[in-house]
Amino acid sequence: QQQVKQSPQSLIVQKGGISIINCAYENTAFDYFPWYQQFPGKGPALLIAIRPDVSEKKEGRFTISFNKSAKQFSLHIMDSQPGDSATYFCAASMGQSGGYQKVTFGTGTKLQVIP
């Protein structure tokens, strides 16, 4: 029940195209859904995040779509650029009694944007 399933494992997109990564979860106790971007040799960086009472959130070229009834959410990267080439992790987090969040990560998607 703590799993977050992510697909595809890898993705190749042409420059200017749309990159789409999908995730699904089971545990309805998750209350926050962040996406992290990780470049080789670096730590994950928070990209965009959404709460389950919102169906869509857009920040620049990045959009999260959230379907609470289907327990699915996705990341869309519009006008994909070579600099977007990285590994993307979806995640689901749950508040703990101590006030911090416990994060469960998806398995990751390696995105390559080709010129």
Interface with another protein (CB under 8 A): 31-32, 34, 36, 41-46, 49, 51, 89, 93, 95-96, 98-103, 105-108, 110
Q: Please write down the HEC assignment for all residues of the chain.
A: CCCEEEECCEEEEECCCCEEEEEEECCCCCCEEEEEEECCCCCCEEEEEECCCCCEEEECCEEEEEECCCCEEEEEECCCCHHHCEEEEEEEEEECCCCCEEEEECCCEEEEEEC
Nearer to another protein, 38 or 65 (CB): 38
Q: Residue 10 Cβ, how far from another protein at the closest point, in Å?
A: 10
Nearer to another protein, 51 or 58 (CB): 51
Q: Residue 74 Cβ, how far from another protein at the closest point, in Å?
A: 17
Q: Residue 57 Cβ, how far from another protein at the closest point, in Å?
A: 13
